[in-house]
């Protein structure tokens, strides 16, 4: 057996060109697997992070009626001011950050141009910055302060309306008591966050502005909570207990998973599609390895005939070529793993910019148009083992077929 192993590895060094070409083919497939899996994993996890960081926090406290109709942002199902204050105290007692928000639909226009629909959130800037990350994504101007009478718009809104910092936007909406109200607001800041839903649909004013002009009187449609450790359940259980003890039975809680259930359902479908994509890449890689290894073995039928003519048993010939194939798979997998790690490092730190390709297209993920990678050691190990096993398994059938030929036919084989 020792001599067979030595012969197999001598063949690897003797046929350098074939070894290099085959190894590169295997390496390319392995690297592609690692890179694609890392990108899809990042897109899914980033979408979930962005649901929490820009839309829902860890969970939300609101009225039961509002929870059922949140997509319409009704102003007749809000939390009254006394209850808002009680919920904020509950947040302090449970060690959570909290932010009262009031969302309402509006039409935004600039210089008497056509109006575009947006959801405007009235926020307490200081509290909101502890729960959400809009403040970290200001690209022009300034974040809102507590008494600001301006508006914070998105880069998407700036592009759609053709408006800029310091200019005035007209907001048409309805007050708490369903009367029409039009406000002329100065654009004080522009944000561009990695959540496309927020970028395309949401703008922000202060609660002070809303109370003075929309008759909200300290009310809030929802109060978003963020836990320090990022885990929902322990804090959520405490909040539910305290809500019951303070007889706030009209209020309910909704986690980011419940509010984001539509996306999470789509995410599961996408995971199925991603698995199919990964499987297809596996198939492509396997076909490439099969083609390369089969050609490699059938090119050497004469060599196998010579070995048999010199007295080597058929089983030993097959073992020799299987070990050689394992060596090729090992070299290719090591190269592929190295290349995959390099691509992942680039993807983690730099990413690929698909802005020109995606533009304003909704591609399903709650991410920006620069796609990054995440490390997935499990897939790296699986791809590495796959490269070796596939090479070995592929070599068995053509080797057996070659040794079934007559020795004289093998020697004359072209």
| Predicted confidence (pLDDT) at residue 303 exceeds the cutoff of 80 | no
- Tokens 């942002």 — which residue? 73
User: Beta strands 116-123 and 151-154: pairing type?
Assistant: unpaired
**What pLDDT is recorded for position 317?**
73
Q: Cα separation of 223 and 78, whole Å?
A: 10
For residues 292 and 51, is the Cβ–Cβ distance under 8 A? no
**What pLDDT is recorded for position 345?**
94
The model's pTM is: 0.79
**What pLDDT is recorded for position 273?**
57
Q: Is 103 exposed, middle or buried (0-12, 13-18, 19+ CB in 10 A)?
A: buried
**What pLDDT is recorded for position 61?**
94
By C-alpha distance, which of 336, 333, 315 is closest to 400? 315
| End-to-end Cα distance, the chain | 29
**What pLDDT is recorded for position 201?**
93
Q: Cα separation of 351 and 354, whole Å?
A: 10
Interior/surface letters 124-138, b for 16+ CB within 10 angstroms, e for the rest: bbebbbbbbbbbebb
pLDDT-wise least confident of 288-302, 312-326, 370-384, 397-411: 288-302
Alpha-carbon separation of residue 391 from 12, 101, 296 (angstroms): 14, 59, 11
pLDDT tier, 294 (very low <50, low <70, confident <90, very high otherwise): low
| Predicted confidence (pLDDT) at residue 116 exceeds the cutoff of 80 | yes
pLDDT tier, 267 (very low <50, low <70, confident <90, very high otherwise): low
Helices and strands of the chain, counted as H and E runs: 16, 12
Which residues, including other chains, have CB under 8 Å from residue 86's CB and lie 6 or more apart?
A: 246, 248
Mean pLDDT of the chain: 83
Q: Cα separation of 333 and 336, whole Å?
A: 5
Strand partners, 77: none
| Predicted confidence (pLDDT) at residue 179 exceeds the cutoff of 60 | yes
Q: Where are the alpha helices (DSSP H) in 52-154?
A: 64-69, 81-93, 125-131
Strand partners, 172: 107, 182
Strand partners, 224: 60, 99
**What pLDDT is recorded for position 118?**
95
19-75 residue pLDDT tens: 787 788 788 888 888 888 888 889 888 888 998 999 999 999 999 999 888 888 888
Task: With both helix axes pointing from N to C terminus, report the angle between 301-309 and 377-403 in degrees, rounded to the nearest 10.
Answer: 60
**What pLDDT is recorded for position 281?**
62
Q: Cα separation of 394 and 227, whole Å?
A: 52
39-55 residue pLDDT tens: 888 988 888 899 899 99
Mean pLDDT, range 234-261, rounded to an integer: 87
**What pLDDT is recorded for position 279?**
67
Strand partners, 189: 141, 152
User: Between 268 and 142, where is the model more confident?
Assistant: 142
Q: Cα separation of 275 and 404, whole Å?
A: 39
Which residues, including other chains, have CB under 8 Å from residue 97's CB and lie 6 or more apart?
A: 91, 127, 130, 131, 225, 226, 228
Mean pLDDT, range 141-167, rounded to an integer: 92
Percent of the chain predicted with pLDDT > 70 = 81
Give the number of residues written for the chain.
414
**What pLDDT is recorded for position 362?**
61
pLDDT tier, 156 (very low <50, low <70, confident <90, very high otherwise): very high
Which runs of E-coded beta strand occur in 199-347? 202-206, 222-226, 251-255
Count Cα atoms within 13 angstroms, Cβ side, for 193.
29
- Tokens 């390099």 — which residue? 342
Which runs of E-coded beta strand occur in 132-262? 138-141, 151-154, 168-174, 180-191, 202-206, 222-226, 251-255
């Amino acid at each position: 057996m020792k001599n067979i192993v030595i012969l197999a590895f001598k063949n690897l060094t003797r046929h350098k060109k074939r070894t290099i070409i085959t190894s590169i083919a295997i390496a390319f497939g392995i690297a592609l697997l690692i890179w694609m899996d890392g990108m899809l994993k990042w897109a899914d996890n980033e979408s979930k992070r962005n649901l929490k960081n820009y839309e829902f926090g860890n969970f939300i406290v609101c009225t039961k009626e509002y929870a059922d109709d949140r997509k319409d942002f009704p102003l007749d199902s809000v939390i009254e001011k006394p209850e808002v204050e009680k919920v904020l105290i509950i947040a302090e007692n449970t060690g959570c950050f909290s932010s009262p928000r009031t969302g309402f639909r509006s039409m935004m226009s600039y210089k008497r141009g056509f109006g575009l629909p947006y959801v405007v959130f009235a926020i307490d800037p200081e509290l909101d910055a502890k729960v959400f990350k809009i403040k970290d994504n200001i690209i022009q101007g300034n974040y809102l302060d507590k008494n600001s009478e301006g508006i914070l718009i998105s880069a998407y809104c700036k592009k759609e309306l053709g408006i800029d910092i310091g200019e005035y936007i007209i907001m048409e909406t309805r007050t708490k008591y369903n009367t029409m109200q039009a406000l002329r607001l100065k654009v004080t800041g522009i944000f561009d966050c990695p959540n496309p839903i927020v970028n395309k649909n949401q703008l922000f004013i202060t609660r002070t502005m809303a109370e003075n002009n929309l008759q909200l009187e300290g009310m809030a449609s929802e109060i978003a909570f963020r836990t320090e450790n990022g885990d929902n359940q322990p804090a959520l259980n405490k909040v539910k207990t305290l809500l019951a003890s303070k007889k706030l039975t009209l209020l309910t809680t909704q986690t980011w998973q419940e509010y984001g259930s539509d996306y999470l359902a789509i995410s599961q479908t996408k995971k199925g599609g991603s698995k199919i994509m990964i499987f297809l890449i596996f198939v492509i890689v396997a076909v490439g390895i099969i083609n390369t290894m089969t050609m490699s073995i059938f090119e050497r039928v004469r060599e196998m005939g010579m070995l048999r003519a010199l007295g080597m048993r058929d089983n030993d010939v097959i073992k020799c070529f299987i070990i050689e194939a394992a060596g090729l798979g090992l070299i290719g997998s090591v190269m592929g793993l190295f290349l995959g790690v390099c691509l992942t490092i680039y993807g983690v730190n730099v990413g690929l910019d698909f802005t020109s390709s995606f533009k304003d297209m909704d591609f399903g993920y709650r991410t920006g148009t620069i796609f990054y990678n995440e490390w997935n050691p499990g897939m790296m190990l699986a791809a590495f083992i796959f490269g070796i096993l596939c090479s070995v398994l592929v070599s068995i059938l053509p080797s057996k077929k070659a040794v079934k030929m007559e020795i004289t036919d093998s020697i004359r084989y072209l």
